Amino acid sequence: MMAEQLHDVSRRDFLTAAGVVTLAGSLGLKAAVPAQAELGSDRKIRMGIVGGGFGASFQWHLDPNCIVEAVSDLREDRRAHLQRVYQCDKPYESLEKLVLDPKIDAVAVFTEAPNHVRHVVEVMNHGKHCISAVPAAVSLEECQLLKETKERTGLKYMMAETSYYRAPTMLARLLWADEKFGKFLYSEVEYYHPGIGAAEDGLSTFNGQRTWRYGYPPMLYPTHSTAFHVGVTRERLTKVSCLGWGDDDPARKDNVYGCPYANQSALFQTSGGNICRCNVFWKVWAHGERAQWLGENLSLFMDSWAGQPFVIKAPGQADITTLPDFLHLLPEPMRASTGHGNSHGFLTHEFIAALVGDREPAVDVYESLAMTAPGIVAMDSTRKGGEQLAVPSFDRA
């Protein structure tokens, strides 16, 4: 999309989604300039992909404006996997070698969470745009370094936050922009992933050595939750009180983060005067990412692993239970089911579209840090027994 970002979904686009004509009509959504799936440009962005785990689950090779120029992973088996997925014949043994390739325009960094900022800075210092996995950073100092690096280099940065492009989030963003929720909004946002960080979890060790996931703090992985609020309203989470719970798992007793918590629950105040309750739990029998947005005039409830159906409720109107399918907003080769609620194709295309159109991506460095920093402060609040703390801003000066 050249002129319109993927988050600017118009009424006409909305109506083309199967089964939602009644929804659009009953809610009286305002018209806007339609988004376009094709960019109208033959420019090709040459990508380097680093990280053969999660990094192999995106659609770079299917985007009409993208070429996978090179791939990299420290592990040979994962390098080979990236080569197969992206049909690429140029592997590098490390990110540090890949960024020296003069043909590469941008790099996708899907490495370990504690290394994201170090790797993103390395990429941008070599003159290349960057998209990274979540979280954007794991400390406030890293948040500041990431912001300074983006502003110093003038290059594009995007965080690949999947919750931003789940269909219910895209719909909630549309309803929020049209002021359908009313004056007051309360959101409940949550990410449940049993086993993460536990000593016996398969991802906590590799070849007998602890990985970065061993004892990893829940609130240092907040963005699958916080994106549901920040990504819909563009409000900032300004204050937080957070409580934690831990068990006797060995990983809670001895980890590099000094974190005894398996579950954390935060209550945020927002810049718009609203409230956001945010959960990130590793030790609970529940699964997945989910949100609900409650307003005085309308409320939207996501479907869930536990069986909660999708529904929009508004006074004087019948419940709306048809969730739009926004895949038609993507170029035709990318209209396929992908991970995390079909979000991967949107994240892929948004980054490429931003580079082709020479604009900032939807989840730019400022939105990314607005989703990331609140979790870092929530971690500090937990250690202080739930004391309410201010969340610093990393927006433009």
Alpha-carbon distance of 386 to 377, in angstroms, equals 11
Which alpha helices (DSSP H) does 193-338 contain, by range?
223-233, 250-253
CA–CA distances in Å: residue 255 to residues 117, 140, 181, 212: 21, 20, 43, 9
Alpha-carbon distance of 247 to 37, in angstroms, equals 48
| Cα torsion 344, 349, 351, 352: sign | positive
For residue 158, what are the β-bridge partners? 131
Alpha-carbon distance of 27 to 25, in angstroms, equals 5
pLDDT at 12: 43
pLDDT at 35: 40
Grouping H, G, I as helix, E, B as strand and the rest as coil, residue 120 is helix
Contact yes or no for 93/82 (Cβ under 8 A): no
Q: Can you spell out the DSSP letters for 159-197?
A: E--GGGGSHHHHHHHHHHHTT-S-S-EEEEEEEE-TTTT
- pTM comes to 0.91
Radius of gyration of the chain (CA): 21
Alpha-carbon distance of 307 to 48, in angstroms, equals 39
pLDDT at 118: 98
- Tell how far CA 134 is from the center of its chain: 6
pLDDT at 55: 85
Alpha-carbon distance of 368 to 156, in angstroms, equals 12
Q: Can you spell out the DSSP letters for 7-21?
A: T---HHHHHHSTT-H
Burial of 18 (0-12, 13-18, 19+ CB in 10 A): exposed
Backbone angles phi, psi at 53, to 5 degrees: -90, -100
Of 219, 294, 233, whose CA–CA distance to 261 is shortest? 219
What is the domain partition of the chain in residue ranges?
164-329+364-390
Structure tokens that stand for 79 in this block: 């390098």
Place of tokens 């949107």: 346
Place of tokens 């029998």: 285
CATH number 3.30.360.10 given to 164-329+364-390: yes
Which alpha helices (DSSP H) does 139-291 contain, by range?
140-153, 167-177, 223-233, 250-253
For residue 109, what are the β-bridge partners? 50, 132
pLDDT at 302: 97
Contact yes or no for 79/52 (Cβ under 8 A): yes
Residue by residue, pLDDT tens for the chain (397 residues) are 333 444 444 444 444 443 344 455 555 554 332 343 456 788 999 999 999 988 899 999 999 999 999 999 999 999 999 999 999 999 999 999 999 999 999 999 999 999 999 999 999 999 999 999 999 999 999 999 999 999 999 999 999 999 999 999 999 999 999 999 998 899 999 999 999 999 999 999 999 999 999 999 999 999 999 999 999 999 999 999 999 999 999 999 999 999 999 999 999 999 999 999 999 999 999 999 999 999 999 999 999 999 999 999 999 999 999 999 899 999 999 998 888 889 999 999 999 999 999 999 999 999 999 999 999 999 999 999 999 999 999 999 8
Of 32, 37, 33, whose CA–CA distance to 1 is shortest? 37
Beta-strand relationship, 311-313 and 275-281: unpaired
Angle between helices 116-125 and 140-153 (to 10 degrees): 10
**What contacts 24+ positions apart, CB below 8 Å, involve 86-94?**
86/49, 86/56, 86/60, 86/61, 87/61, 88/49, 92/48
